[in-house]
Structure 1
């Protein structure tokens, strides 16, 4: 089973969707699964130092503070129902996610899923700036990546360009919001959905041959 996941690391619904998918996979266990993570940069204009979080979100969505809080409360409850923590009170900065996606791209295959979860945890539970190279390198170190080599790789032009190009590719192929999941290149699930929806999609995708290209 090939599963392509398009996501951004500051998207709470992406974390919820990831949890629903992985819970579905834990129940399913019909085939070996190969997961490919793809960046979808929600706003790559955010500077490395970030913006004040709540003010940025109010401006972005054009809503008042009390409406934003209601949105956060509803999203937090959805996270709790899925089994993930989303602590919006801890988040101080709206951040640029490009570095976090570069780390995911560089992470060894056997720890890549764990690195994705660690990035989500750093942002949504610890309120860390995942646009800060020191934060990103610390996550990499926790998964046995060499700090010196990782810093060099994160600054390599081809790694940077690949993340931006993949995000652009997604939009050019009519992926306009995340999370977005494609199973065996044909069965698509958009948004965070439910465990049951993912189980149905997995069963449908299992009946298909994988085409040569996504």
Structure 2
């Protein structure tokens, strides 16, 4: 939409992504969102990441991966679900290395790190690296050293992150944010909140995401720049 003559600069279009970095569909959803936005260069979007706990029953130290998958899917290797996910991943440029994963993590600390990242670009870099570490390299993303290294790669202060991870600061904040998302009706991820109102749930096709972003952006602009 064209900026009204003589008005203030257009406000960036907000996209809130509710996700968990141990969720493979969230990694797929991130790739599809990126492709949808690449098709819409005229839309200045600001993407922020919000926490969700795919399985809040996982203990703080994590669980053996085979044990977790057996409990969740009835198969220690994820069975047909993971076979299908591998194919989906390849279509979106993700080579899932599920066999390399030894631990299913509790992701509260990973979400704390994302929260501390602050600005959207750093947040995105942290989220991307956590997805890569877990799904491509099989790293334990509940390990403070792994998280500190990821922070450093995203341009954050690794030692400051280590210090924060050593205590409980902002843990309650993350849990409250998760609770807020659940109260708002989010019970599956990824979930994309477009412009504060329109929501898309699931790793939907790129065409659908593009369409919904365009519609939401038009609604967002109309609310702010309609003439009196």
TM above 0.5, one fold? yes
Task: Report the Cα offset of residue 199 of structure 1.
Answer: 0.6
- Larger RCO (CA under 8 A, 6+ residues apart): 1
Partner of 2:68: 56
Q: CA deviation at 1:125?
A: 0.7
Unaligned runs of 5+ in 1: none
State the superposition RMSD in angstroms.
1.8
Give me the whole-angstrom Cα distance separating, in 1, the residues matched to 2:26 and 2:65. 18
Residues 1:28 and 2:66 are matched in the alignment: no
Number of equivalences = 210
Query: Deviations along 1:27-56, whole A, 9 cap, x unmatched?
Result: 111221111210001123322332111221
Greater Rg over alpha carbons, structure: 2
1:101 aligns with 2:108: no
CA distance 1:156–1:50, change in 2 (3 Å): closer
Tell me if structure 2 keeps the 8 A contact 1:154–1:160.
Answer: no
Establish whether residue 192 from structure 1 lines up as the match of residue 193 from structure 2.
Answer: no
Q: Which stretches of structure 1, 4 residues or longer, exceed 6 Å deviation after superposition? A: none
CA distance in 2, matches of 1:139, 1:158: 19
CA contact (8 A) 1:6 1:37 kept: yes
Distance in 2 separating the partners of 1:113 and 1:105:
11
**3-state DSSP class of the match of 1:128?**
coil
DSSP 3-state at the match of 2:39: helix
CA distance in 2, matches of 1:155, 1:162: 16
| CA distance in structure 1 between the partners assigned to 2:156 and 2:93 by the alignment | 28
Q: Does 1:38 align with 2:46?
A: no
User: Which residue of 2 is the match for residue 140 of structure 1?
Assistant: 151
